[in-house]
């Protein structure tokens, strides 16, 4: 399974602010569903990834990893599509649907 994310920061051993026991790089990401995570960057992508990039994160064992960097146009189109889906999913239901459920008579006890 893959998830779409946007790179907020790259964390690696090249920084003066990091002391590491290995040479791996991680990405601080905002995911399409508004979660924020830090995941491993695949070693072959470390020299190419930068803040603002759209990436696909492979969510499998042993750990989630940035697997692909998308071209800006492709990434933005996917991001917009996911945002639209999320906004529709999070919209409150119309009051008329709630009234129909409340007045349906199901669940009322007689007696």
What's the domain count of the chain?
Answer: 1
**105 assigned to some structural domain:** no
Q: What is the CATH number of the domain that holds 22?
A: 2.40.50.140
Whether 16 is in a domain gets the answer yes
Confidence class of residue 105 from pLDDT cuts 50, 70 and 90?
low
Asked whether residue 110 is domain-assigned, the answer is no
Q: Which domain holds residue 92?
A: 2-98
Query: Would you say residue 52 lies in a domain?
Result: yes
**Is residue 29 within 8 Å of 38, Cβ to Cβ?**
yes
pLDDT digits (tens, 9 = 90+) for 2-53: 999 999 999 987 778 888 888 899 999 999 999 999 999 999 999 999 999 9
* Within a domain: 57: yes
More confident residue, 105 or 72: 72
Could you tell me if residue 22 is inside a domain?
Answer: yes
Q: From 9, 14, 65, 58, select the one nearest 40 (Cα to Cα).
A: 65
């Amino acid at each position: 399974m893959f998830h779409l994310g946007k790179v907020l920061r790259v964390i690696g051993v090249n920084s003066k602010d990091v002391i590491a026991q290995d040479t791996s790089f991680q990405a601080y990401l905002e995911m399409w569903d508004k979660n924020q995570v830090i995941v491993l960057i695949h070693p072959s992508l470390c020299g190419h990834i930068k803040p603002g990039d759209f990436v696909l994160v492979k969510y499998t064992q042993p750990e989630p990893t940035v697997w692909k960097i998308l071209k800006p146009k492709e990434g933005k189109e996917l991001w917009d599509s996911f945002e639209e889906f999320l906004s529709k999913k999070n919209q409150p239901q119309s009051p008329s649907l709630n009234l129909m459920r409340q007045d349906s008579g199901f669940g009322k006890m007689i007696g």
